[in-house]
Structure formats: C-alpha cells, structure tokens
Chains A and B, each alone.
Chain A
C-alpha cells in the first residue's frame, strides 16, 4: 500500500476508515432502533475490546515488517494460566500477574526465534499458534475453570457507573493513547517505520533492528495477555479453546485500518477506527436481521478493498502524472 498522504490527497486511507466508521454508525442507527441504545453500544464496545488491544500491538509489528499469528493462542494461554493458577489456590491478583508474565514470555519466545535464529515470523508463529494452544489443552485438559471471584467478573461485565462504557474501555483508551503517542511522536515510533520500510538500511543507520523487533514481539505477547485477562473476565471462564481464530480478525482489522502488510505504512487511529467499524458493522448487520455469514463476507470484502483501492489510486495517479508530463514537454 502506498503512502497517500501527499497534499493532493486530502482523503487518505485512514481518514477514509474514520469516515466509514461514522457512516456505518449512521446506517446502523437508521437500520434498527435498538442500535443506538446504551445496552447495545456497551455490548459493541465490550465485544471488540480484546481485538482492539491485540490490534494495537499487531499494528506495530506489521508496520515493522513482521507478523504474529499466535496472538489468539497467547491470549488463550494467558487465560488458561490464570485459571490454572487460581484453581491451584493462588490469589486471583497473583494469578493475573502470572498470566501476564506467561504472555510476555510467549511473545519473547517468538521474538527470539525470529531475531536470534533468523526464522521467518509467518512460519514461526504458525508453529507457536499450535504450540501455545497445545499448552492450553495440556494445562486445562477439557475442564474449563468457571469459579472466578465475583468482583473481578463484575469488572469484566459491568459498565462504568452512569455510562454505557464497559470498564475495559478505560484500558483500551489508555493503551491506544500511549501506543498512538509512541508510534507517531517518538524516536522509537520512527524506528518502527524505518525498519518496516527497509530493515537493512535501518541497521546501517544505527537502529538496533533486532532489539526493536524482539521488543515488539514481547510487547505483542504482553498485549495479547492483557486481552486474555479481559477475555477471561468477560466470559467469566478460562477455557482451552477460547478465542480460536481471533488472530485472523485482528490481522484483518489492522490491514483494513490502512497498515501495509509489506511494512512501513500505517496509523494507530486508522487501526482503531477499523476495529470499531467492524464491531459496528457486525452489530448493525445482526440487528438488521442478517446472519453472521453476511459479516464474514463483509469482512473479507473490506479486506480485499483495503488492498485493491490503494493500487487503483496509485494507478490513476501514475497515469495522471504521465499525462501532465507529456503536456509539459509539448
């Protein structure tokens, strides 16, 4: 995907996604009287919280030219670890810490395989997708842990008093805000873009490419773990098969949000708008009486459009500039 943010192009892809979000909210409200109710909005936000948290980290990783398919398995492994530890008599607070550490270590494991051993991240994380999910089954077998402390479950299911925002909203906003600031306003953020654009050139200009990548994998692991805790509380259960297939939803949202799969291009708020849009569309389609299948087709279609459209605009621009060059030379 090319960078469209030249002065000529006032409507960049990420702004387009925000516009798309606004339009889908409007259509949603017209399509069903239940859409804009507090309980539905609360549900929409809660249902995308985990995807949003993981997408924040995945955006960094894909911009840096890597990918992590094991995020949903890390999420489930964290959930399973929390459940296992709690069942074994550990205090729930400590169990959560253990879960987060497990997620961080899982991310580090991916990072070491990619940066130290030089293995391709796509292949590595397909392997660890299986490995981490396998460890969930080893930990819990087929016995989900359901007896979690009441006050924690309330945290995962109730709204901030007086609003329709679930408690997880605070977490998402804080994480997204920090991630936005670091990506777009710090040296580290510039490094991530540089690495994704050209890793070799970055290395020669003194950027510690491998350390940054290792850090990003660890960060992705940790964020998946945070999502795992949110997921566990929301469903009040730790089960070995939780969140299966989430990795593809996360990647679809990140790419729809304008991050280039080839690396080097993307914005944090484009990604967040994409995650929200998909949540809104899902809810709108459900309320309008469409089946879940329509959502699958729409997600796939949006994903395709998000890669095809930049090609088309690029094609048009190249031809227009060619035409103007010819005019000038005449």
Chain B
C-alpha cells in the first residue's frame, strides 16, 4: 500500500495508467482498436503536439508559459514549404525555421527575464505579432504538396520498424531533452527556478540567463516542429497552428507537468499528448460522435489539474511528517 502510494506520486504514473485504461478498455469494447494501424494513427497524429509539448516543458517547469508556439510552428511550416519551393536546400530551410523560432523565443525570454514582464502577456503579444507577420508574408498563399521538400514528404509517409518516422523524431527529441533535464546542471536549474524563483537566485543560479535560454530553446524546437507539421499535413496555410498552444499546454498538464512549476518531465508531456490523441481515436472507435472529443479533453484536463493539486498537498504533508519524526 505504501509502495502504491509512492508510485502514484510519480507524476508520470497517473497518465500512463490512464493510457492503459483507455487503450485496453476501448480495445475490449471494439477489438479493431488493438490493430497496428490504429496504433500507427495515434503515433503519427500526435507528433506535432508531442514535439511542441517537449518544447513547452522547458518553460512550464520554470512556472512560465509560452503561448506563441502555435503562431511560430504555423509560420515555420509555411516558411519551409515556401523557401524550398524557391530552390533552397532542406538544410537551409530547416536552419531558417530554427532561427525564426529561436529569435521569437529569445525575444520572449529577454522581455520576461530582463524586463521582468509576465510571460503570459509577453507571449500573448508575440502570438499576435508572429501571426500577423506570418499572414503578411504568406499573403493568403497555400503550401501544396508539390512545394513540400521531398525528404519531409518521405518522412511523413514512411515507417521505421512499423513506427512513423515522425514519432521516431519525437522519441529522439524526448530522449535527448530528457537526458538534458535529468543530467545537466543548466536544465536542472529550471526546476529550481520553477519551485522558488527568488531562492534560486539566492543560491547563485543565473536565473535571468536560464530563463532566456529556456525560452530560446522552446522557440527553436517549436520552429523546427514546423517541419514535422509540414511532413504531417503535406500542406500549410495562414491558418496553420491556430489555437494549437492551448492543446500543447493541455498535453503538458495532463502529463503531470504542473502549471505551478517545479515538477514534470518531457516523458510526461509526451505521454499526456499521446493520451489525448488516444482518447480522440477511442471516441471514434467506440462510435461516440466526434463532437464529444473536446468536452472529454476538457474534463480530462480538469481531472489532471485536480490530481496534481491533490498529489502536491500529499507530498507536502508527508514531508512535514517526515521532518517531525
């Protein structure tokens, strides 16, 4: 019982449990759900949100938020298609996407870290500005399949060991980011900043620099996620990525990356995204009208926030007891 209690306090356990329940439950009611093609659809479909959720984890663990990612990913997916149709090489267009994302992230990070502005306001403003610039540059054009770089097209269509290459990208990114966040000093500092910003400063963590770097990384990854988006949809328009930021934050929260900062992992964020996508597929497989999907997502996020709150108070009270005994 004690071990069970400890297990449930690991932030990723509830979401994995939820994943198993939804998957097995749906599969028992409709055996088709256990097929490889459904599994592939889930992993293929989740790639964009999962990539962005990994990026978002950096800022959320610092008790910040980045709302501009939807505009950034839409813009870079357009940019990649547009530039490569004008003859630029894949490397060059990916670099452009990376730079655009990193620049937006650096602006966000600078305003938040060095001017002390609230990240919610700053990134809301850059959400508008980037979308506005995007629409102005895009001029209502659409990127069609013939403009998508062949390599991205190929990545979107093919699989490695039966797993879509897009999800392989997510896995590689997750392992890399997960390694950073567990093993490197700079990324560990993000958790300290999220737990207690002023204490983090007092123990000598260069808080401003870390905040700047974290926002820049979030922007850079979100910029590259434009390539995933283009590979996934084979098209892009000025509507791309609209409203995606809230879905990404939802995935993080469901995956145990607490909006209150200081806890959570990229593995959790990806699991949260996969859970949301699995529920989407399950709704279809169970014959429930698709119209229920959003309502179910909302309920799930509330449950996740509630659970997070419950667990964090439990951890606190057990700490106090531990100290007194």
Digit string of B168-185 for contact with A (CB within 8 Å is 1, else 0)?
A: 000000000000000000
A311 interface neighbour in B117, B133, B136, Cβ under 8 Å? B117
With A300-B127, A304-B125 as known contacts, state yes or no: A119 contacts B309, CB within 8 Å: yes
Separation of A292 and B138 alpha carbons in the complex (Å): 13
By the criterion CB–CB under 8 Å, are A295 and B132 in contact? yes
In chain B, what residue has the closest Cβ to A244? Answer: B243
By the criterion CB–CB under 8 Å, are B309 and A300 in contact? no
By the criterion CB–CB under 8 Å, are B122 and A304 in contact? yes
Judge if A161 is at the interface, Cβ distance under 8 Å: no
Q: Give the tally of cross-chain contacts (CB within 8 A).
A: 144
In chain B, what residue has the closest Cβ to A311? Answer: B115
Interface SS of chain A: helix, strand, loop or mixed? helix
Digit string of A266-303 for contact with B (CB within 8 Å is 1, else 0)?
A: 00000000000000000000000001111111111101
By the criterion CB–CB under 8 Å, are B126 and A138 in contact? no
By the criterion CB–CB under 8 Å, are B117 and A262 in contact? no
Closest chain A CB from B130 CB (angstroms): 8
Judge if A255 is at the interface, Cβ distance under 8 Å: yes
Closest chain B CB from A81 CB (angstroms): 14
By the criterion CB–CB under 8 Å, are A130 and B301 in contact? yes
Instruction: Pick from A113, A117, A123 the residue with the most CB of B within 10 Å.
Output: A123
A261 interface neighbour in B120, B135, B294, Cβ under 8 Å? B120
B17 contacts across to A, CB distance below 8 A: none
Judge if B306 is at the interface, Cβ distance under 8 Å: yes
Range class of the A interface residue count: 35 or more
By the criterion CB–CB under 8 Å, are A311 and B298 in contact? no
By the criterion CB–CB under 8 Å, are B117 and A120 in contact? no
Separation of A292 and B135 alpha carbons in the complex (Å): 9
Judge if B291 is at the interface, Cβ distance under 8 Å: yes
Closest chain A CB from B100 CB (angstroms): 16
Closest chain B CB from A65 CB (angstroms): 12
With A129-B246, A262-B118, A307-B117 as known contacts, state yes or no: A135 contacts B295, CB within 8 Å: yes
Separation of A261 and B121 alpha carbons in the complex (Å): 8
By the criterion CB–CB under 8 Å, are A261 and B118 in contact? yes
With A126-B250, A127-B250, A130-B301 as known contacts, state yes or no: A294 contacts B132, CB within 8 Å: yes
With A138-B292, A293-B132, A294-B132 as known contacts, state yes or no: A120 contacts B115, CB within 8 Å: no
Judge if A133 is at the interface, Cβ distance under 8 Å: yes
B120 contacts across to A, CB distance below 8 A: 67, 122, 261
Among residues 127 to 161 in chain A, which have CB atoms less than 8 Å away from a CB atom of chain B? Answer: 127-135, 137-138, 141-142
A134 interface neighbour in B243, B259, B292, Cβ under 8 Å? B292
Instruction: Pick from A134, A251, A295 the residue with the most CB of B within 10 Å.
Output: A134
By the criterion CB–CB under 8 Å, are A308 and B111 in contact? yes
By the criterion CB–CB under 8 Å, are B294 and A130 in contact? yes
By the criterion CB–CB under 8 Å, are B135 and A293 in contact? yes
In chain B, what residue has the closest Cβ to A299? Answer: B128
Digit string of B223-261 for contact with A (CB within 8 Å is 1, else 0)?
A: 000000000000000000011001001100100000110
In chain B, what residue has the closest Cβ to A132? Answer: B298
Closest chain A CB from B245 CB (angstroms): 10
Digit string of A97-137 for contact with B (CB within 8 Å is 1, else 0)?
A: 00000000000000001000111101110111111111101
Separation of A113 and B305 alpha carbons in the complex (Å): 10
By the criterion CB–CB under 8 Å, are A134 and B295 in contact? yes
Judge if B85 is at the interface, Cβ distance under 8 Å: no
By the criterion CB–CB under 8 Å, are B259 and A122 in contact? yes
Separation of A145 and B169 alpha carbons in the complex (Å): 44
Judge if A170 is at the interface, Cβ distance under 8 Å: no
Among residues 285 to 324 in chain B, which have CB atoms less than 8 Å away from a CB atom of chain A? Answer: 289, 291-299, 301-302, 305-306, 309
24 of the cross-chain contacts (CB-CB < 8 Å) are A69-B246, A117-B309, A119-B306, A122-B120, A124-B302, A126-B249, A131-B297, A131-B299, A133-B298, A134-B292, A134-B293, A134-B296, A137-B292, A137-B294, A245-B242, A291-B135, A294-B136, A295-B132, A297-B129, A300-B126, A300-B129, A304-B129, A308-B115, A311-B115
| Chain B residues in the interface with A (C-beta under 8 A) | 65, 111, 115-118, 120-122, 124-129, 131-133, 135-136, 242-243, 246, 249-250, 253, 259-260, 289, 291-299, 301-302, 305-306, 309
Task: Given contacts A113-B306, A134-B295, A240-B291, list 5 more A-B pairs with CB under 8 A.
Answer: A134-B297, A137-B292, A296-B129, A297-B133, A300-B129
